[in-house]
């Protein structure tokens, strides 16, 4: 099978869409399929795979670095003209998403669209438009795109409820989460991290890995963890990730006078995440904007006890009291406190989460589901 993936967001950007694409792409190739990726040019990155093609882009630096693709390229068009696709999979409803839809029509192949994002949570990245206006436009555009696709993929069931309320009437919707790349979570070793951060073995380690931006609710997260650090001197907090709110978070920590037990690591490379997770006692997460939260399934795979806000996406992955704990804003720090005090519960939650992730959320399992969707669509179009 020959699969073409069109995306506005790709390597080297470390975001969830990139993680999803790579998870599926690598499994497809492993199973003998050919995968072409069409993404924006990134001047700081050189692709290793000959089947990755780049559209010209404009470097945007507002809150985060993001190359914005120009959805027309004579050079890329000539390449696509010569290629045969069995299916086109679009990761976005605009820019290269439009190119994906046009090529699907031209080549008469099915168009699959993954609804990755609750778009109204990200309108603060459009500085020149009122947020309500930009939210209305982006939701309307996404709904129209989803209704014209042959199949809509959602990462978790609750996303389907939201997009239907927004106006998606397409009945071809299926839930397929992004799977954990098992190879990347083998042979972990936390000793070097513990030594470099100088964390004593008797300390209880609270870990979170997140983009340090508004939609990830990190100001709330840090304030809540700080409450714990002030009353539990045996606890330390490691916060991995980069973003424009980092200085604000450092101010909060400094004002609370717990800076010696808070470690801002910056961006953690993908192959290092397993080492940080193997070091931690519990994983905490407060984002309310996730359609899935791949970092959650990775933490589950590593057998971490997770404490998270009960919200879209994350609430679909974690069964409260069995594979983790879910909280409201009002009892977040209280639940962290109780979890740190109960080693038996930490062990049970971690064991259950690990089992669940291996049964439902590996890249192999999820890729197999996606291939079945592709095969079904191709059969329908050919009959």
Q: What is the pLDDT of residue 137?
A: 85
2-179+362-382 and 182-360 share one CATH topology? yes
Please check the confidence at residue 111 and state whether its pLDDT lies above 70.
yes
Give me the residue spans of the domains in the chain: 2-179+362-382, 182-360
CATH code for residues 182-360: 3.40.50.2000
Phi, psi of 218 (to 5 degrees): -80, -25
Q: What is the pLDDT of residue 136?
A: 84
Q: What is the pLDDT of residue 55?
A: 98
60 — pLDDT class (breaks 50, 70, 90): confident
Q: What is the pLDDT of residue 169?
A: 98
366 closest CA partner among 145, 164, 155? 155
Q: What is the pLDDT of residue 121?
A: 60
Tell me which DSSP letter residue 272 carries. G
Tell me which DSSP letter residue 38 carries. E
341/383: higher pLDDT: 341
Q: Average pLDDT for residues 285-310, to the nearest whole number?
A: 96
Please check the confidence at residue 6 and state whether its pLDDT lies above 70.
yes
Average pLDDT, the chain: 94
Alpha-carbon distances, residue 121 vs 115, 269, 278, 343 (angstroms):
14, 25, 31, 36
Q: Which CATH number fits domain 2-179+362-382: 2.60.260.20, 1.10.287.130, 3.30.565.10, 3.40.50.2000?
A: 3.40.50.2000
For a pLDDT cut of 70, what percent of the chain falls above it? 95
289/337: higher pLDDT: 337
Residues whose CB falls within 8 Å of the CB of residue 91, separated by 6 or more in sequence, listed in order: 5, 6, 7, 8, 9, 17, 20, 21, 97, 113, 114, 116
In terms of pTM, does the model score above 0.85?
yes
**E-assigned strand segments in the chain:** 2-6, 34-40, 52-55, 57-62, 64-69, 87-90, 111-114, 151-154, 173-175, 204-209, 235-240, 262-266, 282-285, 305-309, 325-327
Please check the confidence at residue 198 and state whether its pLDDT lies above 60.
yes
Q: Average pLDDT for residues 154-180, to the nearest whole number?
A: 97
173 — pLDDT class (breaks 50, 70, 90): very high
Q: What is the pLDDT of residues 331-377, one digit of tens each?
A: 999 999 999 999 999 999 999 999 999 999 999 999 999 999 999 99
Phi, psi of 232 (to 5 degrees): -125, 100
Please check the confidence at residue 35 and state whether its pLDDT lies above 80.
yes
What is the full DSSP assignment across 142-194?
HHHHHHHSSEEEESSHHHHHHHHHHT---S-EEE-PPPB-GGGGSS---HHHH
Q: Structure tokens of 304?
A: 């971490």
On whether the CB atoms of residues 91 and 5 are closer than 8 A, the answer is yes
Please check the confidence at residue 63 and state whether its pLDDT lies above 80.
no
Please check the confidence at residue 53 and state whether its pLDDT lies above 60.
yes
For a pLDDT cut of 90, what percent of the chain falls above it? 89
Q: Structure tokens of 108?
A: 């008469």
Q: Average pLDDT for residues 308-318, to the nearest whole number?
A: 94
Q: What is the pLDDT of residues 115-150, one digit of tens each?
A: 998 876 655 545 555 566 777 888 999 999 999 999
Q: Structure tokens of 94?
A: 């605009």
Q: What is the pLDDT of residue 235?
A: 97
């Amino acid at each position: 099978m020959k699969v073409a993936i069109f995306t506005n967001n790709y390597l080297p950007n470390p975001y969830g869409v990139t993680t999803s694409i790579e998870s599926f792409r690598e499994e497809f190739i492993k199973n003998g399929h050919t995968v072409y990726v069409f993404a924006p040019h990134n001047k700081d990155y050189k692709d290793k795979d000959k089947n990755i093609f780049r559209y010209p882009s404009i470097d945007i630096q507002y809150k985060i670095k993001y190359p914005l693709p120009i959805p027309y390229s004579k050079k890329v068009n000539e390449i696509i003209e010569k290629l045969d696709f069995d299916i086109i999979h679009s990761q976005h409803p605009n820019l290269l998403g439009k190119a994906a839809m046009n090529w699907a029509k031209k080549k008469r192949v099915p168009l699959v669209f993954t609804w990755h994002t609750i778009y109204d949570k990200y309108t603060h990245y459009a500085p020149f438009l009122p947020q309500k206006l930009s939210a209305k436009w982006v939701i309307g555009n996404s709904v129209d795109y989803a209704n014209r696709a042959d199949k809509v993929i959602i990462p978790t069931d609750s996303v389907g409820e939201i997009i239907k309320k927004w106006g998606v009437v397409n009945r071809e919707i299926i839930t397929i989460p992004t799977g954990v790349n098992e190879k990347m979570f083998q042979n972990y070793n936390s000793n070097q991290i513990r030594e470099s951060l100088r964390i004593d073995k008797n300390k209880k380690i609270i870990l979170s890995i997140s983009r340090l931006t508004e939609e990830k609710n990190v100001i709330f997260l840090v304030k809540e963890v700080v409450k714990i650090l002030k009353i539990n001197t045996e606890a330390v907090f490691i916060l991995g990730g980069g973003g424009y709110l980092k200085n604000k978070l450092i101010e909060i920590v400094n004002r609370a006078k717990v800076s010696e037990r808070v470690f801002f690591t910056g961006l953690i490379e993908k192959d290092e995440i397993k080492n940080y997770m193997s070091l931690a006692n519990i994983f905490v997460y407060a984002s309310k904007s996730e359609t899935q939260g791949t970092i959650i399934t990775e933490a589950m795979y590593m057998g971490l006890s997770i404490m998270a806000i009960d919200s879209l996406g994350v609430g679909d992955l974690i069964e409260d009291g069995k594979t983790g704990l879910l909280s409201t804003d009002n009892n977040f720090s209280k639940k962290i406190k109780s979890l740190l005090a109960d080693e038996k519960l930490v062990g049970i939650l971690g064991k259950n989460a690990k089992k669940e992730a291996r049964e439902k959320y590996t890249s192999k399992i999820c890729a197999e589901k996606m291939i079945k969707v592709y095969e079904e669509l191709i059969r329908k179009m050919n009959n």
